[in-house]
Amino acid sequence: MLSYTLKRLLQAIPTLWIVITLSFFLMHLAPGGPFDGERQLPPEIEANMMAAYGLDKPVWEQYITYMGNLLQGDLGPSFKYKDFSVTELVVQGFPVSLELGLWAIGLALLVGIPMGVIAALKRNSSVDYLVMGTALAGVAIPNFVIAPLLALVFGVFLAWLPVGGWNNGHWSNMVLPVVALSIQQIAYIARMMRASMIEVLGSHFIRTARAKGLSESEVILRHALRPSMLPVISYLGPAIAGIITGSVVIEQIFGIPGIGRYFVQAALNRDYTLVMGTVVFYGALIVLLNLLVDLLYSALDPQIRYDND
């Protein structure tokens, strides 16, 4: 297991390097620069700004400087948020996005798994149709529709919860964004769980367990639940990464100081260093999460022997 983990980590380095290099050059190829906007700067001022950020040098030279700094852990200054370095912004924003994301995934598992199990057990009944219909709606309705609706109903009309703001992560500020973030995930997990459960319930070892005279609840809880959760587990890596990177809309709508907001804003502003900072960070995060999921997977399913790879 250890050698497998090390091997995977080493494999991640060239992957990350390719991602960083491609992003760096693509970003510089994109039309429009960090100082292009409604107000064109006088040429001498633009020249000053370009020099101040090292943008007056050839791109390859900028790339070498960037990689050199990156290896020393320096992500550079943000072009837009001038009082902060990119590292500071990432360090400030990530815990917020992570907290939000983990709560959302937790809620999605807590609600999605039982929904999927119930639908599988009551297959083709009205309960199944109701659960799956709800899940379908959850998948179909995008975040940017659900989030303002939740804010309007629970924040403005009922005044039960704050409409926005973070307030140092107070639970009341977290409820609506967590719910809004998790709805799609609940739907995915429920659908996945249902399909997987149906498959597992049809397999030989379940039939054997039933033949042994075990009660239905024992069959489900002791034998069927664990294997049917495998697809859900393998989905968790991309789901967590997706929920953290994809919380852009939610963070924007609820005014949450997470890293997601920087992701899009930086690209639009051509804030090169911040774009690269978020790319590096997300790249590393996705590699790491996928690795963690693989390890978790092997722990749940002893048939997978990574050591023999």
- Tell me which residues touch another protein (CB under 8 A): 30-45, 48-49, 51-52, 80-84, 89, 92-93, 148, 151-152, 155-156, 159, 162-166, 252-258, 261, 268-270
Q: Let me know if 260 is exposed, middle or buried by CB neighbors in 10 A (0-12, 13-18, 19+).
A: buried
Our CB check for another protein shows the closer of 82 and 212 to be: 82
Our CB check for another protein shows the closer of 35 and 297 to be: 35
Our CB check for another protein shows the closer of 76 and 93 to be: 93
8 Å CB contact between 280 and 16: yes
Q: What's the CA gap between 194 and 198, in Å, rounded?
A: 6
Q: Shortest Cβ distance from residue 11 to another protein (Å)? A: 35
Our CB check for another protein shows the closer of 271 and 294 to be: 271
Nearest to 114 by CA among 199, 218, 193, 202: 193
Our CB check for another protein shows the closer of 170 and 222 to be: 170
How many Cβ atoms from other residues are within 10 Å of residue 87's Cβ? 17
8 Å CB contact between 200 and 247: no
Q: Supply the DSSP string of 100-117, one letter for each residue.
A: HHHHHHHHHHHHHHHHHH
Q: Shortest Cβ distance from residue 276 to another protein (Å)? A: 17
Q: Shortest Cβ distance from residue 110 to another protein (Å)? A: 27
Our CB check for another protein shows the closer of 196 and 247 to be: 247
Q: Shortest Cβ distance from residue 103 to another protein (Å)? A: 18
Q: What's the CA gap between 101 and 5, in Å, rounded?
A: 25
Q: Shortest Cβ distance from residue 282 to another protein (Å)? A: 18
8 Å CB contact between 148 and 254: no
8 Å CB contact between 1 and 298: yes
Q: Shortest Cβ distance from residue 296 to another protein (Å)? A: 32
